[in-house]
Structure 1
Amino acid sequence: MTYTVNCSILLTELPLLERPAAAKAAGFDAVEFWWPFESSVPSDAQVTEFENAIQDAGVQLTGLNFNAGNMPGGDRGLVSWKGRCSEFKDNIDVVAGIGGRLGCKAFNALYGNRQEEFTPEEQDELAVRNLAAAAEGVARIGGTVLLEPVSGAPRYPLLTADDALKVIARVKAEAGVGNIKLLADFYHLSVNGDDVQSVIENHAKDFGHIQIADNPGRGAPGTGTLPLGEWIARSRELGYEGYIGLEYKEPQETAFSWAIREHAAK
């Protein structure tokens, strides 16, 4: 099983730039990150420091988020955020640059919360343009934009796989881009009441990425009741060939105990 460690939510006891090496020491060869900088356009020195941390650790960067704003403060993306369009557009070249240098091909564009001062239709029109620009920006390095349903954010409009797939279909129809896919986070989909098994049966072969956490609690696999192993296996059977992103909350000491047990059982 090819797992990739989300170093923005795991290993948080360590400074950000020490986490890739910690993931490698734990036995993993791949990592993914939310946007690791405060601004959409960090300094060259900051970007180099981030890239060096990954390369020096000897791991592959498999996924990177576009700037999503202040995540701890409740922001969930700039894609549909009217007033920050230029900031999102400026971020595209930085994301594509990092991806090109590190061989990363998957880029998560969080849609953004609803704004009271604008209609959903106005925000959705902007989102289509921004997603098209992002897709075109990463296409030159063979990249794919991911669109993700999210839980726990009351003003985030994409809750189910169908919500995201409708946006993806609209972007494809209006902008003619094909490199935008669903990020199937089994935890978020489950919490939002989506029929995860049905989503897998109907769309697994077209998933751009899978992420997992157990529920309740968003903990490590085995801490809750979700049949994550079955869902992953079925997704593989139906054609999903990508990484499985580990995006859960667990102390460093026990973060990968389940993986050690899984490996020992084989």
Structure 2
Amino acid sequence: MTALRYDVNLSILFTELPLLQRPAAAAACGFDAVEMWWPFDGPVPADSELDALAGALDDAGVSLVGLNFDAGHMPSGDRGLLSSRSTSRRFRDNIDVTVGFAERMGCRVLNALYGNTSDDTEHDLALENLALAVTAARPIGATVVIEALNSHENTRYPLTSSKAALEVVDQVPGTAFLADFYHLARMGEDLPALIASSAGRFGHVQIADVPGRGQPGTGELDYAELLTLLAASPYDGPVGLEYKPVGPSADSFGWLEDMP
């Protein structure tokens, strides 16, 4: 069994601070790796915005291990751009920017949220856009991952189980499954069984406790067991902390002392 490596999602942790101050805050808490959702307002930010974020990451000495493609305006309920005719162009405009920034920062996991069901949803279009993302990501050695979300909070998102997400992965070579234990547990999945059957297909893992999405130890999941199983599995990537901290972010990491 190997020790797991943990990273902090700066889009949900350290939000007490402006984005460009969060990498240093994560480093001050002992982390050397971070991930984030698409952090810009549109698909093609100005070079100065990209430079500022790269500088903040470099100055803090943290590596970027996961990055979302543009997923729309998530505070308003958007959950991706892949599957809709009305948003497909925005996704395609974002591909080269995301891959270019990932190459610059050494990031090798790129998350493409599928998109909410709408009047113009087309599954074949989603697969086509995923294939375009894979083609762009392959030369830098990056993997495009597909995520299932829970339907309690994401009522129009169609991929709500590991089975549904893995079916998409099966249709697009070069993709992998983003196993978000919080979303999967909210949908009643047997996480130990999933780790046993499918950890070799995980492209990334994210965690939070259930039902409140707080840090492990604030809810129902036995993370000591789950992470021990994960550490003994074929999965060898980082574990993203993607939770809403109960209290200040910097005070929310004590549970890690008892984890593999």
Alignment deviations for residues 186-244 of structure 1 (CA, whole Å, 9 cap, x no partner): 11000012222221111112210110001121000111110222222212212111000
1:2 and 2:5 correspond: yes
1:113 is displaced (CA, Å) by 0.2
Distance apart, 1:72 and its partner CA? 0.6
TM-score by length of 2: 0.94
Other structure's SS at 2:74 match? coil
Structure 1 Cα separation of the partners of residues 134 and 252 of structure 2: 33
Which of 213, 229, 233 in structure 1 is aligned with 2:224?
A: 229
Query: How far, CA to CA, are the matches of 2:250 and 2:33 in structure 1?
Result: 19
Q: Counterpart in 1 of 2:206?
A: 211
Q: Of 108, 112, 115, which aligns to 1:112? A: 115
What does residue 135 of structure 1 align with?
A: 134
1:154-169 residue pairs with structure 2 within 5 A?
154-169=155-170
Whole-angstrom distance in 1 between the partners of 2:250 and 2:142? 34
Q: Which residue of structure 2 lines up, in the alignment, with residue 67 of structure 1?
A: 70
Give me the CA root mean square deviation.
Answer: 1.3
In 1: Cα distance, 2:253 partner to 2:226 partner = 19
The 5 A counterparts of 1:7-26 are 7-26=10-29
Match of 2:254 among 247, 257, 260: 257
Confirm or deny: 8 A CA contact 2:14 2:250 kept in the other structure.
no
Is the contact between residue 205 and residue 235 of structure 1 (CA under 8 Å) also seen in structure 2?
Answer: no
1:102 alignment counterpart: 105
* Residue range with higher mean Cα deviation, 1-10 or 230-239: 230-239
| Aligned residue identity for 2:68 | N
Paired AA for residue 17 in structure 2: L
- State the shift of 1:253 in Å: 4.4
Show CA shifts across 1:163-206 (max 9, x none).
0000111223xxxxxx2100001110000122222211111122
Gaps of 5+ in 2: none
TM-score, length of structure 1 as denominator length:
0.92
Match of 2:40 in 1: 37
Quote the residue 2:148 is aligned against.
149
The CA deviation string for residues 121-178 of structure 1, in whole angstroms up to 9 with x for no partner, is x521110000000111111100000100012100000011110000111223xxxxxx
Q: Which residue in the other structure is 1:175 paired with?
A: none
1:67-97 deviation digits (Å, cap 9, x = unpaired): 0101111000011122121211111101111
Quick one: distance in 1 between partners of 2:236 and 2:172? 24
How far apart are the structure 1 equivalents of 2:219 and 2:251? Answer: 15
SS in structure 1 of the partner of residue 155 of structure 2:
coil
Whole-angstrom CA distance in 2 between matches of 1:35 and 1:255 = 24
Give, in whole Å, the separation in 2 of the partners of 1:87 and 1:53: 26
Which letter does structure 2 place at the counterpart of 1:171?
Answer: V
Would the aligned equivalents of 2:224 and 2:258 in 1 still touch at CA under 8 Å? no
CA distance in 2, matches of 1:101, 1:244: 22
Q: Percent identity?
A: 49
Residue from 229, 233, 236 that aligns with 1:238: 233
8 A Cα contact 1:75 1:112, kept in partner: yes
**Structure 2 residue identity aligned to 1:170:** Q
Aligned equivalents of 1:253 and 1:228: distance in 2? 20
Q: Matched residues in 2 for 1:168 and 1:107: separation?
A: 14
Amino acid at match of 1:236: A
Query: SS in structure 2 opposite 1:211?
Result: strand
Distance 1:50 1:241 in 2: 27
